Structure formats: structure tokens, C-alpha cells
Amino acid sequence: MVSKEVIVKSATGLHARPATLLVKKASSFKSDISIEFDGKKANVKSLIGVLSLGVTKNATIKITASGDDEALAVEEVTKLIDSLDE
């Protein structure tokens, strides 16, 4: 299992478009990937799950992956979150 914390810089947080991009990226990996925010956890491959967390701008979230490609999954998902609306 690999985990990494990242700060969401997107002006809208992880809502609508950013969340859709995140789910598409996460779905390309075999590993189980989850996101934690404010004591809640969701599957990153679920758009409803990601949106239900209500992640806002400047929030610190934790990305965790477990599986065959876990290290690459966390790295790529983190890169995507960093690149949103810089």
C-alpha cells in the first residue's frame, strides 16, 4: 500500500470537471485507489464518491493505492491533482 498527501489547488476543489478527470485517470489503473478528506474516505474510481467528499480549494487530501501498480497510480493521480487549475 502506498499513500501520499496532496493539497488541492483547483479553484473549485474536486468538483464536476476536476473530479471527472480524476476518476478517468484512476480508472486506468488496476489498483484500488482511495481518497481521504475530513475523516471520510471514497473510491477514486467513483465520481459520486469523489463528489460526496466535498473537497474544497486548499484542502489537504490523502491518496492511497493498493495493488499491482500502486506506486504509479499514486504518482499519476497526485500529478493530476497538482496540475488542476494552477
Find the distance separating the first CA and the last CA of the chain, reported in whole Å: 29
Active site residue 15: yes
Residues in Cβ contact with 71 at an 8 Å cutoff, skipping those fewer than 6 apart: 2, 65
CB 65 within 8 A of CB 29: yes
Catalytic one of 2, 4, 12, 15: 15
- Which residues carry out catalysis? 15
